[in-house]
Amino acid sequence: MTNNENLHFYVSCPPGLEPMLAAEYKPLGLVRVKLKKDEENQVIHTIGEDTGGMEFEGPLEHVYLANLHLRTASRVTVRLGEFKAITFAELRKKASKLEWAKYLVPGQKVSVQVTCHKSRLYHSDAVAERILGSIDDHFSASGKKMEKSPEGQLILVRLVNDNCTISLDSSGDLLYKRGYRQAVAKAPLRENLAAGLIMATGWDGVSPLVDPFCGSGTIPIEAAMMAQHIAPGINRNFRFSNWPAYNKVTWNEILDNAKKQIQKDSPPLFGYDRDAGAIEMSKANAARAGQKDHIQFVCQAVSLLESPSSSGWIVTNPPYGIRVSENKDLRDLYARVGTLAKQNFTSWHFSVLCSDDQLIANMGLQKPEKTIHLINGGISVKQVIYIL
């Protein structure tokens, strides 16, 4: 593969964070695929494109950049090919002609995941079997068969209206796994969602940021990494490094450039939690992220919360649950948070993630400046953002 050869690749993110992902990709120089339109000027989405991500085109080094730098991303997949298939024989024959040798070696471990929708080939296991057979056909001269394993290279096959799209995962572990968060408190917030919450508030990266319910410390740690321009994937490995097409020299140049962008200074960052165990977890995670000296973690109840300056940002993920309407303690907690916000944080930006409209209403704040609908741990939630 030459450096100038363009690929189509898809970057997925948690649904609701697409605007934040859009703000991230432009400074990296990534190029979005232009959406096709029909005769009535209606957008025709390319196969596999839906909410929760965006499609791009560019050289392999753009795949490296996306994995390394996009804070809100979940996974980057490279499209190997797309074609129409209405029989299993057609599927196997066409798939065998794809350029598997750029990404796989004969006999390696692979994992095939299939989704079928409105297609004559609707049996996902049978489709996966044919795809494995097609790869073996492609490498038939080697005499080696591909080995099925959940730990192997992930191959994603999508059949929609008899159109087959085959993509390969370039990320490996999902991108929210930065590597620093080994200690986890109750109801942990994924790193890419935490980064998206911060971005959505418009935090300037220099003003104080406070999380009164910090749990495992994810929000303050992500804020610290953002302020210091630390690429989220700088301390982890990626699946693309195992590909035959992988260019180690190019990757090292990209990695070196990312390291040169790091700034040492950090704004005042605070994480509070009444659970002493959570604070210890936060400190341990911050140490692994290289942020031990940049964030003040303190064990204290929210009732003791005071403003460290005349302006700043509160970004937090308080406790909530599916049956919170029956829990008077949570209603009182949110009322107390709203009172403290109005009394002690005038002129501050205030962001809360919550699943329950009544709890949000209990804070007694004016209409939010912005509301974003998200999914957290399988629960539909809202991020409500106020200017106090």
**Model-wide pTM > 0.85:** yes
**3-state secondary structure at position 265:** coil
Gap between the Cα atoms of 103 and 98, Å rounded:
11
pLDDT beyond 50 at 325: no
- Cβ–Cβ under 8 Å, residues 337 and 302: yes
Among 152-161, 253-262, 286-295, 315-324, the minimum mean pLDDT is found in 315-324
Bigger pLDDT: 151 vs 4: 151
- Residue 253's CB is within 10 A of a number of other CB atoms, namely 13
Would you list the DSSP string of 74-141?
Answer: -EEEEEEEEEE-SSHHHHHHHHHTS-GGGT--TT-EEEEEEEEESSS---HHHHHHHHHHHHHHHTGG
Bigger pLDDT: 187 vs 207: 207
- pLDDT-above-70 percentage for the chain: 92
> Which domains does the chain show, CATH number per domain?
7-169 (3.30.2130.30), 191-228+263-387 (3.40.50.150)
Mean pLDDT score, 199-209: 98
What's the pLDDT score for residue 5? 85
**What is the Cα 352 distance to its own chain's centre?**
19
Q: What is the pLDDT of residues 223-239, one digit of tens each?
A: 999 999 999 999 999 99
What's the pLDDT score for residue 184? 77
Q: How confident is the model at residue 324 (pLDDT cuts 50, 70, 90)?
A: very low
pLDDT beyond 50 at 45: no
pLDDT beyond 50 at 2: no
Q: What is the pLDDT of residues 344-385, one digit of tens each?
A: 999 999 999 999 999 999 999 999 999 999 999 889 999 999
pLDDT beyond 60 at 315: yes
Mean pLDDT score, 67-76: 98
What's the pLDDT score for residue 344? 96
What's the pLDDT score for residue 3? 54
Q: CA quadruple 297, 327, 337, 221: dihedral positive or negative?
A: positive
Residues shown for the chain: 388
pLDDT beyond 60 at 303: yes
Q: What is the pLDDT of residues 75-128, one digit of tens each?
A: 999 999 999 999 999 999 999 999 999 999 999 999 999 999 999 999 999 999
What's the pLDDT score for residue 37? 55
* Chain mean pLDDT for the chain: 93
Mean pLDDT score, 48-54: 68
In terms of C-beta density within 10 A (0-12 exposed, 13-18 middle, 19 or more buried), how is residue 357 classed? exposed
Supply 85's token pair: 């298939």
